[in-house]
């Protein structure tokens, strides 16, 4: 669970570092137009943070598999809730940042950046990696719920846990369905 909590916290730290780039670019140059020392420090910390959050995310995905294999269902369910539902503000703010990034790139290049689509896709790929990493917790929970409730839990939820936006809807549906099934037992 420590790895999962670290991943959760690192997502928000990474988001804060993303939003800090705006004042860094505006105020990070000296009179000669060169980056100040603290600006270089920021970029190093941001780069290390972006790499570290991916590594911790992969370790969290491995922890989900390990929790499922050891039948640690309570911890798995708490981790699932943390990474699927309590990260909704992160994904909303990250989407806003990504949208501003895309509009800025297209506007600054007068549309030419569309010809080189790779810079536009970087934030999308980066964020989708988080969805896949947290999807392991969703898939492990779907397996646990199918073991407990059988065919009352649809197989499609395995796939939905790895699809942006649909993963949250699937999680909410599963949680409400489980509450109904628990009350009928």
Q: pLDDT digit string (tens) for 113-171?
A: 666 777 677 878 888 999 999 999 999 999 999 998 888 888 999 999 999 999 999 99
Per-residue pLDDT reduced to its tens digit, 22-54 = 888 788 878 787 888 888 899 999 999 999 999
CA distance 92 to 17: 16
Neighbour-count burial of 31, counting CB atoms closer than 10 A to its CB (0-12 exposed, 13-18 middle, 19+ buried): exposed
The answer to whether residues 114 and 146 touch, using CB atoms and an 8 Å cutoff, is: no
Q: What is the pLDDT of residues 55-97, one digit of tens each?
A: 999 999 999 999 999 999 999 999 999 999 999 999 999 999 8
Q: What pLDDT score was predicted for residue 151? A: 84
Please tell me the predicted confidence (pLDDT) of residue 116.
72
- Is residue 169 within 8 A of residue 91, CB to CB? The reply is no
According to the model, what pLDDT value does residue 185 have? 66
Mean pLDDT for the chain overall: 89
Residue count of the chain, please give it. 185
Give the percent of the chain with pLDDT over 70: 96
What is 153-180 written as a DSSP string?
S-THHHHHTTSTTHHHHHHHHHHHHHHH
pLDDT of residue 123: 79
Residue 109 CA: distances (Å) to CA of 112, 114, 119, 122, 123: 5, 9, 12, 17, 18
User: What is the C-alpha separation between 2 and 67, in angstroms, rounded?
Assistant: 13
d(C-alpha 161, C-alpha 39), whole Å: 38
Domain boundaries, the chain: 2-184
């Amino acid at each position: 669970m420590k790895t999962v909590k670290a991943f959760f916290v690192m997502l928000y730290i990474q988001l804060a570092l993303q939003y800090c780039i705006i004042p860094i670019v505006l105020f990070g140059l000296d009179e000669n137009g060169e980056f100040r020392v603290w600006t270089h420090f920021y970029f190093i910390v941001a780069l290390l943070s972006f790499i570290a959050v991916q590594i911790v995310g992969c370790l969290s995905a491995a922890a989900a598999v390990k929790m499922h294999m050891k039948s640690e269902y309570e911890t798995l369910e708490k981790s699932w809730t943390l990474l699927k539902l309590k990260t909704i503000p992160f994904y909303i703010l990250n989407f806003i940042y990504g949208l501003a990034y895309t509009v800025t790139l297209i506007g600054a290049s007068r549309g030419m950046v569309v010809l080189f689509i790779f810079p536009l896709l970087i934030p999308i790929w980066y964020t989708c990696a988080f969805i896949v990493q947290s999807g392991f917790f969703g898939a492990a929970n779907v397996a646990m719920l199918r073991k407990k409730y059988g065919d009352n839990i649809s197989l499609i939820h395995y796939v939905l846990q790895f699809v942006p936006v649909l993963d949250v809807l699937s999680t909410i549906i599963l949680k409400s369905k489980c509450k109904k099934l628990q009350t009928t037992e």
